[in-house]
Amino acid sequence: MAFGGGHYITISPHVKFSPLEVSDYLFSTTERPAGVFAANLAYIISQYEQRVHLLTEQISDARRRLSRHEVENSDFIKFVAIEDTLNEYRSSLEGMSRVITQLMENRRHLFKTRDLEALEDVDLHIRQVLVAISSSTHTISSIQNAYSTVANNTLNQRMKALTAITILLAIPNVFYGMYGMNIALPFQGEPWAYPVITSFTVLLILLVMFVAKRLRLF
């Protein structure tokens, strides 16, 4: 955008943008380039705000699905793209804020008091959008940390369960392994040996489970 000498020129890489769309952002009916310039800035910031709002909705949706344990790996890939987009928006808006701050110094006396007030409002709007961007970025980090914590906790619980199963299965193997050897063992010729050993093994497993539960080993 450039203005001076009663002329106002805009160049945009997108065909969607047109100065005619900024009429709702004019603070008053004016033909002065400075007034139209401030309105254009307000329009551009509103577009940033709408896009940030859409990204925030996507983040909020992922957060809700995380609470229902429905989040997928594709969501975190999407988070990377969203975070990159938010960082680009932040960089652009911070640059615009610095430019507006310099323009508000009005060194060349291009702006009237009303225009300076409009620029101040635009700068305030930029700062509000930057706060929203920071909040969304923080939410992404919180979701990633929460998912990492949940995943680690789930893995630990599964490892504890597998360890407990392994230990409990090892107990009967001790007795069955001994009686599977080709050596003389007590009671091997008795008909009641098998049910007694089996019952003793089951009781021992239950005892180990009870003690482990009391000691919170698993």
Q: List per-block mean pLDDT (blocks of 10 residues) for the chain, which spans 218 residues.
A: 58 59 53 72 89 91 79 81 93 92 80 84 93 92 85 86 84 75 70 80 85 76
Domains of the chain: 2-154 (1.20.58.340), 160-214 (1.20.58)
Could you tell me the two tokens for 80? 């990377």
Cα 81 to Cα 55, 85, 87, 208, 216: the distances in Å are: 10, 6, 10, 51, 43
Determine the residue type at 161: A
pLDDT of residue 132: 94
DSSP letter for each residue of 120-163: HHHHHHHHHHHHHHHHHHHHHHHHHHHHHHHHHHHHHHHHHHHH
Global pTM reads 0.66
The residues that bridge with 7 in the sheet, in sequence order, are 4
What is the C-alpha R_g of the chain?
35
| Size of the chain in residues | 218
